[in-house]
Structure 1
Amino acid sequence: MEHAVPHIPAGTAVAPELPDILPDVKPRRGVLGFLRRYPTIALGGALLLLMLIAALFAPWLGTVDPTAIATSRRTREPSALYWFGTDMLGRDIYSRVLYGARVSLTVGFSVALLASAGGLLVGLVSGFVRLADSIVMRVMDGIMSIPPILLAVALMALTRGSVGNVIIAITIAEIPRVSRLVRGVVLSLREQPYVDAAVAAGTRAPMIILRHILPNTLAPLIVQATYICASAMITEAILSFIGAGTPPIIPSWGNIMAEGRALWQVKFYIVLFPAIFLSLTVLAVNLLGDGLRDALDPRMAKGD
């Protein structure tokens, strides 16, 4: 049964409707809405995904053995048979570039993971424990005073060339920068009221770090990890280019460019294609990092 509308006598003043104080709740946009809001994440993630697919499925993408030597087909220009041409030993550059993506992505992701973990540990300890801060950070400052590429070259000179040693050398050079970032965040969080309340309640330092400090350091750490990944791939290419990185037999982008520099003026494509792939991969990681910075930093979030 419908409720009858009460009769309002004539001449009675009717108050206007009150405005809505709270804004309308907007429905969640899902993944597509998030990607529209942050197009750099979508573009960078798409490019990086393509590189990952090319690296993982290289044996099924029309490639041949990247180390197979055929002197009868040396320095062939790009064609329908040899998409990226061949080098001075007759090796297919297309195959070498796709397999080289495995080396660069492995180095980049491994260094980003290891350097982030090591720098996080050092930064948390030095930022929260005052006694350790003066000692540990002086060591980090000493390492940071050496340019990363020179430090990596010096470390590689002490070992034999391999992908594992390249990862270790670049990781050691990147840990101080991560620890500096984490330490700065911890120093600001250490003075927050909720941390003082936890200390006053008798909570031990390890539990304070795990519950209150660590979760607030993850957002800037993730963004920093993307830049470390891009920097590690460039450093690996530089080390391989100057002969201090992976062995020449391994088809990395740096090795391919190093082998083709002698013929740059006449056979520029030997250097061009690995350089394009390296540039696109670094661009993809940097775009992803910029998008994550905007998404994770509330000060840069756009109003809805």
Structure 2
Amino acid sequence: MGGGSAASLPPGVNAAVPMQDIMPPVKPKKGVIGFLRRNPTIAIGGFLVLLMVCIAIFAPFLFTKDPTALAPALRTREPSARFWFGSDMLGRDIYSRVLYGARVSLTVGFAVAICASAIGLFIGLVSGFIRVADSIIMRIMDGMMSIPSILLAIALMALTRGSVGNVVLAITVAEIPRVSRLVRGVVLSLREQPYVDAAVASGTRTPMIIIRHILPNTLAPLTVQATYICASAMITEAILSFIGAGTPPIIPSWGNIMAEGRALWQVKPYIVFFPAIFLSITVLAVNLLGDGLRDALDPRMAKRL
């Protein structure tokens, strides 16, 4: 308090001396580094995903061989300096096949996440905001969700030939209902907000209301859901390839590598072990990234300094 304030006090009353700050003020770090320090789960998951993407892109430069080259005289060799992960029943280098297999799994995971999110977003927006279309669209989505996604994907693959594109299509169709129901639930809560009522009262057309007021508020939960779809799609692709309904054997993927080694699991477990480890690490990384994004984008769970 200043001297003028102290002089105005009644006789016998003294002003308290202002207390000094014992601890210096905490300044939250800004920028990308500060965001990653506040969200270590995103940092760990993003690093592992980026590492797998780099492995898939630069596989030809990581001391790999032709993943389809056959060498029957060198079949089922143990891991060694020549075959880092061993060789399979046809003498193919498992290390090379696992690294090239990352391309298939990541391509399927990212493609399914993008396609399913885009289509499900459109369906959810229309169904959630337009009441007439809601009853029809959601009954179709409920019927599709009544079938397990893996069975629906197997049924769709049975109608087509094995290829990466058909695998992406089959898994995308199975994942669309879950995305559409998520978006619809968000839209149902948003369309009752006062600012939406004000936009309707002012004569704003429905497409503009959806684009300006509804769509931006659905992107955060949709982004988190997309990461889980990516992880689920990679697992589903591995299952399809493992049972022979996914990518053809000539294309190395983690699923068909494990399928080829299951007959020798008890005597040559490394044939299944290495692709399974890469698949598990990739799925874990994507799930960690999704959990971190959920905590960072949800204001009720975000960490405040």
Give TM-score, length-normalised by structure 2.
0.93
CA drift at 1:33: 1.8
Matched, 1:41 2:35: no
Tell me the distance in 1 between the aligned counterparts of 2:221 and 2:152. 25
Number of residue equivalences: 296
**Greater Cα shift, 8-17 or 37-46:** 8-17
Structure 2 gaps, min length 5: 20-24
How far apart are 1:150 and its partner, in Å? 0.2
Aligned to 1:181: 182
- Corresponding residue of 2:169: 168
Per the alignment, residue 80 of structure 1 pairs with 81
- SS class of match (1:64): coil
Q: 1:230-268 deviations in whole A, cap 9, x for unaligned?
A: 000000000000000000111000010000000000000
Q: Which amino acid in the other structure matches residue 50 of structure 2?
A: L
Identity %: 80
Write the mapping of 1:1-304 to structure 2, written as runs, cut at 5 A: 15=15, 26-304=27-305
Name the CA distance, whole Å, in 1 between partners of 2:201 and 2:18.
Answer: 46
- Alpha-carbon distance in 2 for matches of 1:152, 1:18: 70
CA contact (8 A) 2:124 2:179 kept: yes
Q: Secondary structure at the match of 1:88?
A: coil
Cα distance change on mapping 1:123 and 1:18 into 2, 3 Å: farther
Pair 27,275 (structure 1): closer, same or farther in 2 beyond 3 Å: closer
Distance in 1 of aligned mates of 2:55 and 2:129:
43
What is the CA–CA distance in structure 1 between the aligned matches of 2:46 and 2:135, rounded to whole Å? 40
How far residue 302 of structure 1 moved from its aligned partner, in angstroms, is 1.9
Deviation, 1:303, is: 2.7
**Is the CA contact (8 Å cut-off) linking 2:28 and 2:34 kept in structure 1?**
no
Which sections of structure 1, spanning at least 5 residues, go unmatched? none
Q: How far 1:34 moved relative to its partner?
A: 1.3
| 1:28 CA drift (Å) | 4.1
Please give the per-residue CA displacement for 1:58-100, whole angstroms capped at 9, x wherever unaligned: 0000000000000110000001111000000000000000000
Aligned in 2, Cα 1:172/1:18: closer, same or farther, shift over 3 Å? farther
Q: Supply the distance in 1 between the matched residues of 2:17 and 2:166 (Cα, whole angstroms).
A: 72
How much does 1:12 deviate? Answer: 9.1
Letter in 1 for 2:113: A
- Compute the displacement of 1:30 (Å): 2.0
1:18 CA displacement? 8.6
Q: CA deviation at 1:26?
A: 3.8
Q: Do the aligned residues in 1 keep the contact of 2:75 with 2:90 (CA within 8 Å)?
A: yes
The residue type equivalent to 1:278 in the other structure is L
Seen in structure 2, the aligned counterparts of structure 1 residues 202 and 28 have a Cα distance that, compared at 3 Å, is farther
Alpha-carbon deviation of 1:31?
A: 1.6
